Structures are given as structure tokens and as C-alpha cells.
Amino acid sequence: MIFVRQSVGFLFAGLLLFFLISPFVQTQTALKNAAFSVRWQWLVTSFGIFLLYRSLYTFPFATLLSSITQKHVPFRNALTLFHLANITRYLPGRIWGVVRILSLSQRFGLNKTAVGSSLTLHVGIEMALGGLIGLSLLFSPKMRKGALGILEKFSGHTLLLTLGVVGIFAGLLFCLPKLAHYARAFLKTLVPLLKNARLWVNVLAGHSLLWLCQGLAFFLFVRSLVPVQWTDAGVLTASYAFAWIVGFLSFLTPGGLGIREGLLGMFLANYMSHSQATLVALIARLWMLSAEIVLAGVAFCIRKQNALLPTCFKDKL
């Protein structure tokens, strides 16, 4: 049994590596002429800020989970649970990250329905704020044309697929008793939360600060490779948010791989050559993934440490 689990783990790692490397292989010809000098102080600073953002990302999730379960869920537990599962979202398909986090939830003494409801609200709020930030590109003369062109392509090629997937999922909610049970449970958990104004203020404020932190980190990352102006920080943050939303809504690639980088490259081409923009967008993926791997390692160490503690100490964490 242990051999089978190890084999599956190696298989998943191989698939993950393939999907991460393939964008570089496909664009290697276009990247031969891309060159720039690295400003290491900005690169290290941007990575530190992004690492802070990914660390605090689970704070609104922990807040929602505590409110739904009516008991305090330690931030340490929420961080460990989320980052142990997060790395699996790069596997083919859009469900592995969710499946993993739900499968791990019971090990932390958490109800699957409560975790699923909290995660849905958490990601939904993040998408809504990111969408508002991304749409601000329409007010930028430099970016408006590109953003409108992407919206036209997205509405023509992806909207139908999105509606079809949503329709199938909605149909499954009514046809499959187990899914219908989870849907009703989600609505039951949502109704009491609507009356808690303080909760929504805290969660919205937390997500707003997270987007601000994420946007600053991305701007400093670009600035570490290309001498962009500080006045461009808002537009580059909006470009990142726009690409993130479209990549998230794509059902075709794991973690938005390829789509997000393509959009970022198109937006960044307004500030540098096309080959440089493509390379910066691809390196940005490795930059983000490095932080996620670090936090996955931290989460694994925390989980390993907790497994060695006596039960009385685990209850206090």
C-alpha cells in the first residue's frame, strides 16, 4: 500500500513538472533575444512581500471558518490545511486542490461542509474584488484596447463553456442526492453569516489588503527586471488582477497555466519588448510557485511537528 501511495505521488509530481515546464519549451524560440539586468534588491523585496501575502492569505479563510463552525479555528491550522492542499491545484483538472483540502479537513477536526463553504466564500470574494481591480484597466488609455479585445475573445470562446459547466454543475446539484445535500448545507451556513456585518467588514478589509499586498509584490517584481515607473504600479496591479481572473475562470489548464502568462505578456508588452514581456510573465509564474512551494514545505513541517506532539498539546494549537 505504501509503494502504491509513493508511486502515485511520483506520478503527480511528474505531471506537475510537465505542466510547469511546457510553457517555457513552447516559447523558447521567442525568448532567445530577451535580456535584462536584474535588480536584486527589488527582486528579493518582491519575493518577501509575496511570501507574506501567501502566508496571510488564509486569514480571511480562517475567519469565515471560525464563524461557520462557531468555534475558534487557529490561523496556524488554517494555514497548514490550505497550503498542504494548494500545490495540487496545478494538476490537470480544476478540482484537485478542493478535493485535497476536503480530504485533509477531518484530520484537523473540521467538518467538510464547513471547510467547503468557507473556501467557496473565500475564493468568491477574492474573485469579486480582483474583477473590480482588473476592470479598472478600461480606464487606462494604454491598456483599454487590449482589455476590451480580451473581453471580446473571452465572451466569444469561453463564456459558452463556462455557462455549460455551470449548467451541468447546477443540474448535478438537483440530480445527485449527495451534491444536493452539500448545496443545501452551504445555503444553511450562508444565511446566518449574512446577518454578521462585522464579519463581512473584516473579510472584505482583509481581502482588500491582500490584493494591495499582491499588487505591490508583482509591481516590484517587474521593476526588478525592467525599469518601470512607480506611477505605473496601479495599472500593473490591474493587469495582474485581470490575468489572474481570466486564468482562474479557464477550465482548460491547471492553475491557469499558459493563459495567465499569455495575458500578462500582452499587457507587459506596453512597457518592454514582446520577448522580454513573455519572459517576465513566465518567470513570474516561477516566482509565485517558489513562494507556494516554500509555504507547502512549512505546512508539511508544522503538520509533522503536530503529529509528534502529545494529544493534550495538539488541542491547545
Q: Quick check: 17 pLDDT over 60?
A: no
pLDDT value at position 3?
Answer: 46
Q: Would you place residue 282 in the very low, low, confident or very high pLDDT band (cuts 50, 70, 90)?
A: confident
pLDDT value at position 213?
Answer: 95
Hey, CA dihedral for 124, 254, 43, 279, is it positive or negative?
Answer: negative
pLDDT value at position 43?
Answer: 93
* 69-78, 90-99, 200-209, 229-238: the lowest-pLDDT one: 90-99
Q: Quick check: 116 pLDDT over 80?
A: yes
- Burial tier of 5 (Cβ tally within 10 Å: 0-12, 13-18, 19+): exposed
Q: Would you place residue 71 in the very low, low, confident or very high pLDDT band (cuts 50, 70, 90)?
A: confident
- Please state the pTM of the whole predicted model: 0.78
Helices (H), the chain: 2-26, 40-56, 58-69, 75-86, 96-105, 112-135, 144-153, 159-175, 177-194, 197-225, 233-249, 259-268, 274-308, 311-314
Q: Would you place residue 6 in the very low, low, confident or very high pLDDT band (cuts 50, 70, 90)?
A: very low
The residue ranking higher by pLDDT, 182 or 82, is 82
Secondary structure letter of residue 254 according to DSSP: G
* 50-54, 83-87, 284-288: the lowest-pLDDT one: 83-87
Q: Would you place residue 256 in the very low, low, confident or very high pLDDT band (cuts 50, 70, 90)?
A: low
Q: How far, in Å, CA of 85 to CA of 100, rounded?
A: 5
All cell numbers assigned to 195: 446577518
Taking residues 17-23, what's their average pLDDT?
A: 54
Among 5-19, 131-145, 174-188, 277-291, the range of highest mean pLDDT: 277-291
pLDDT > 90: percent of the chain: 20
pLDDT value at position 37?
Answer: 78
pLDDT value at position 221?
Answer: 95
Taking residues 90-103, what's their average pLDDT?
A: 73
The residue ranking higher by pLDDT, 100 or 186, is 100
pLDDT value at position 240?
Answer: 93
Q: Quick check: 51 pLDDT over 90?
A: yes
- List the one residue out of 115, 114, 73, 74 whose CA is nearest residue 97: 115
pLDDT > 70: percent of the chain: 63
Q: How far, in Å, CA of 273 to CA of 226, rounded?
A: 10
pLDDT value at position 61?
Answer: 92
All cell numbers assigned to 208: 482588500
pLDDT value at position 129?
Answer: 92
DSSP string, 172-226: HHHH-HHHHHHHHHHHHHHHHHHT-HHHHHHHHHHHHHHHHHHHHHHHHHHHHHS
pLDDT value at position 317?
Answer: 47
Q: How far, in Å, CA of 55 to CA of 60, rounded?
A: 11
pLDDT value at position 168?
Answer: 58
Task: State pLDDT tens for residues 162-216.
Answer: 555 556 555 655 565 655 556 666 666 676 777 788 888 999 999 999 999 999 9
Q: Are 252 and 165 in contact (CB under 8 A)?
A: no
